[in-house]
């Protein structure tokens, strides 16, 4: 038997609706482009403050991805775990949220 969120043979699976997954993928591809752009800025020895503004922009874009995932996580994984009525499951998701909050 496996715990919810785990499979016997691999990493834990979640539930991300197709539409959300597509939005996340589009955003992450754009962020990948931003990171490549940062490499080019460094290669070109661009003004540090300008590079730092782009770093902040990439971080903000990652935060945006994080917010979509959190919303999805709360609506699906957390809700399901708490509704399961199993105290260990509730405790698990609360502990995970506390860890994520702190990071």
Find, among 62, 65, 73, 63, the residue nearest to 5 by Cα.
73
CA dist 77 to 10, 52, 81, 90, 102, Å? 18, 36, 6, 10, 19
75 in contact with its own copies (CB under 8 A): yes
User: What would the two tokens of residue 65 be?
Assistant: 């991805």
3, 15, 86, 88: residue in contact with its own copies (rule CB under 8 A): 15
Chain residues 41-70 in contact with its own copies, contact rule CB under 8 A: 42-53, 55-56, 58-59, 62-63, 65-67, 69-70
- For 71: left if phi > 0, alpha if psi spans -120 to 50, otherwise beta; the answer is alpha
88 in contact with its own copies (CB under 8 A): no
Query: Which chain residues interact with its own copies by CB under 8 A?
Result: 5, 11-16, 21, 24-25, 28-29, 31-32, 35-36, 38-39, 42-53, 55-56, 58-59, 62-63, 65-67, 69-79, 82-83, 85, 90, 94, 96-103
């Amino acid at each position: 038997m496996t715990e919810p969120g785990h499979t016997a043979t691999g990493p834990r699976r979640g539930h991300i609706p197709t539409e959300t997954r597509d939005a996340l993928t589009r955003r992450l591809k754009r962020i990948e482009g931003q990171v490549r752009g940062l490499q080019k800025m460094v290669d070109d020895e661009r003004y540090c403050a300008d590079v730092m503004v782009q770093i902040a922009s990439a971080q903000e874009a990652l935060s945006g991805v994080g917010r979509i995932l959190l919303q999805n996580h709360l609506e699906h994984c957390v809700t399901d775990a708490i509704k399961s009525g199993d105290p260990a499951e509730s405790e698990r998701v609360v502990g995970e949220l506390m860890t994520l909050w702190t990071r």
